[in-house]
Amino acid sequence: MDDTTTTLEQLKKNVQEFVREREWEQYHTPKNLSMAIATEAAEVMEPFKWVKSDDSLEHFKQHRAEIEDEIADVLITVLCFANSTGIDISSAFKKKLAEIKKKYPVQKAKGRADKYTAYE
């Protein structure tokens, strides 16, 4: 399994099977899963706490396995949320990417980190 050959559908099915085998669907409400996503995302940030921004890439390299595990936890939980609510991730992604392309046009946003409202 790798990013070049694995589809979102396959990932969603793998997670769905995992959840069903454990009878966890009963706990997979939008409220619970949204909180779980936030919790898992915070765990991605935890290894970087107190690390200077300039040092964060090197820090990542030193803690890659731990951070990969946390990123996987985020993705698994996002997939659980999508399965539970019927969200088509690819459609949502396509729609959102189109929206942010309009908010952050290349000619105004290139090389800038400020919010789109600062462009006006």
If one counts the domains in the chain, the total is 2
Q: What is the pLDDT of residues 17-46, one digit of tens each?
A: 999 999 999 999 999 999 999 999 999 999
Give yes or no: residues 81 and 94 share one domain: no
Q: Are residues 80 and 111 in the same domain?
A: no
CA atoms within 13 A on the CB side of 92: 9
Q: What integer is the mean pLDDT of 3-9?
A: 96
> Is residue 118 very low, low, confident or very high in pLDDT (cuts 50, 70, 90)?
confident
73 and 103 in a common domain: no
Q: Does 59 score more than 90 pLDDT?
A: yes
Same domain as 96, residue 73: no
Task: Based on the fold, state whether residues 16 and 48 are members of the same structural domain.
Answer: yes
Question: What local confidence, expressed as pLDDT, does residue 25 receive?
Answer: 97
- Provide the residue range defining the domain that includes 100: 89-120
pLDDT of residue 16: 98
